[in-house]
A = this chain, B = another copy of it.
Amino acid sequence: MFESAEIGHKIDKNLYKTEEPVLREALLDAQYELKERGEFPVIILINGVDGAGKGETINLLNEWMDPRLISTRAFAAPSDEERERPRMWRYWRALPAKGRIGVLFGSWYTDPIMHRVAGDLKTAEFEHQIDEIVRFEKMLAHEGVVLLKFWFHLSKDKQKQRLQQLEKDPKTRWRVTEQDWQHFKQYDKFVSVSERVLRETSTAEAPWIVVEGEDANYRSLTVGKLLLKEMRKGLEAQSKEQVISDAAPLLPPIDNLQLLHTLQLDQEYSKKDYNEELEKLQGRLNLLSRHPKFNEHSVIAVFEGNDAAGKGGSIRRITSALDARQFAIIPVAAPTEDERLQPYLWRFWRHIPRKGRISIFDRSWYGRVLVERVEGFCKEAAWMRAYGEINDFERQLVEDGAIVVKFWLAISKEEQLIRFKEREQIGFKRFKITEEDWRNREKWDNYVCAVGDMVERTSTDIAPWTLVEANNKYYARIKILKTLCDAIEKALD
């Protein structure tokens, strides 16, 4: 992969002097248009061998364009807040908002490459991280992100020369560290690992661009022109904004036998049994949450269900068994402005708990394949790919030690009507019922269909759905608490 980056590319000074101002103006122009339209972000990854001009390029980009609209992030050792979350959390945190340019010095590639070179990352895990990256970048591409992945290369001889050169000049000496020379010793291994990574991650959506780093003029113009080209391509593409598509009725299976129809929604459960069992289960949950090994895990509990199915009440039965310092409830409503400027899953990544903590999502990332699908708030392509993205997201959580439990609370259409009417009458419950609830109710059959698809596509071994028959609240709450306790117990074993 690096052959054509060792052949001595060069741009002479005069040509550079002619081209640079033109390029610069065009970049600025594109940058302002990007900002004005605010439809997508640009992410530039800067990776490669030491001394190949990575730092200079970053500074140059900030000089050429309006630095107020660029955020540059370097990734040193993760902070403690980052270490207690999945590997990709810190990169989600660093994503630029739509309309802005994010320059990442080092990136999600740095860790797998460096650990592989150091020999402390097994093949399977290495492959796994690479796969994760490919899926992540695919998601970015689908979200409309313009992603440029630059790899700055120098041959071994040139790298040595370059480091020596930098060391000679008092103005640049500081830039060569002991670590650089350590890395130099591992040049061959580094290049071989990198080559493999680049090959496996050069996808149609996000190809690598290898840049020979020796000649600053060549390097700078190459980066600038490619950046301009991709920005213009993004700007000239069809506006990527989501349009409200026709909310066509969903097609049920031809025999109309739906998953939700197979549930026995009415379940016998007496108040007396409930009270006894509730106390036992809450005690069990409390003990589990204080188990010494609990601090190696986190719990992520997702609550979805029909309106008025009893999500709030079930959540309260869980939280009252817990120390309030330990949990956070995330009510999911319409995204805020900050959130709308990011890829879909960003607003959920924000709330991923640290180890030892519990996040309870009252509605969740499944909104995309439920309400957004049914109401036509997003295009079919967007909710279709959401299943895979969600599975990928949850896998990352589980692999990092999270215990993920997901509940669908199902009530019958008749039971819902009774509860809606009750809510309209009782004082402090009147806030719980809105026009929207009545509108959703009209689309009951479409939701039945969407839930069936959702469960089929996202109930995985590591993060299974639990369908909860919820016409009887007592039964539902007990089933939920029991499922949660079982899941935690299993993980602690």
Residues from chain B with a CB closer than 8 A to the CB of A36 are 431
Question: Is A384 close to B, CB under 8 A?
Answer: no
Residues from chain B with a CB closer than 8 A to the CB of A322 are 59
Residues from chain B with a CB closer than 8 A to the CB of A329 are 67-68, 70
Question: Is A476 close to B, CB under 8 A?
Answer: no
A174 touches B290 (CB 8 A): yes
CA–CA, A72 and B329, complex, Å: 10
Of A148-156, A331-339, A485-493, the one touching chain B: A331-339
CA–CA, A336 and B71, complex, Å: 18
| A80-B79, A337-B337 known; A328 vs B28 contact (CB < 8 Å) | no
**Among A283, A337, A362, residue most surrounded by chain B Cβ atoms (within 10 Å):** A337
| A63-B316, A290-B174, A337-B336 known; A428 vs B325 contact (CB < 8 Å) | no
B174 touches A331 (CB 8 A): no
| A67-B329, A328-B71 known; A62 vs B320 contact (CB < 8 Å) | yes
Copies of the polypeptide in the assembly? 2
Residues from chain B with a CB closer than 8 A to the CB of A80 are 79-81
| A320-B62, A324-B72, A325-B74 known; A427 vs B338 contact (CB < 8 Å) | no
Interface flags, A292-330, vs B, CB<8A=1, else 0:
000000000000000000001001100110111101110
B325 touches A105 (CB 8 A): yes
Residues from chain B with a CB closer than 8 A to the CB of A67 are 315-316, 319, 324, 329
CA–CA, A224 and B105, complex, Å: 51
Residues from chain B with a CB closer than 8 A to the CB of A362 are 68
Per DSSP, chain A at the interface is helix
**Among A59, A331, A338, A428, residue most surrounded by chain B Cβ atoms (within 10 Å):** A428
CA–CA, A71 and B329, complex, Å: 8
Question: Is A411 close to B, CB under 8 A?
Answer: no
Question: Is A392 close to B, CB under 8 A?
Answer: no
CA–CA, A476 and B153, complex, Å: 40
Question: Is A69 close to B, CB under 8 A?
Answer: yes
A323 touches B68 (CB 8 A): no
Question: Is A66 close to B, CB under 8 A?
Answer: yes
Query: Which residue in chain B gives the minimum CB-CB distance to A341?
Result: B336
A313 to chain B: closest CB distance in Å?
10
Apart from A62-B319, A336-B338: 7 A-B pairs, beta carbons within 8 A: A35-B431, A36-B431, A58-B324, A63-B316, A69-B331, A72-B324, A171-B283
Residues of chain A at the chain B interface (Cβ within 8 Å)? 25, 28-29, 32-33, 35-36, 55, 58-59, 61-63, 66-74, 79-81, 103, 105, 171, 174, 283, 290, 312, 315-316, 319-320, 322-325, 327-329, 331, 336-338, 362, 427-428, 431
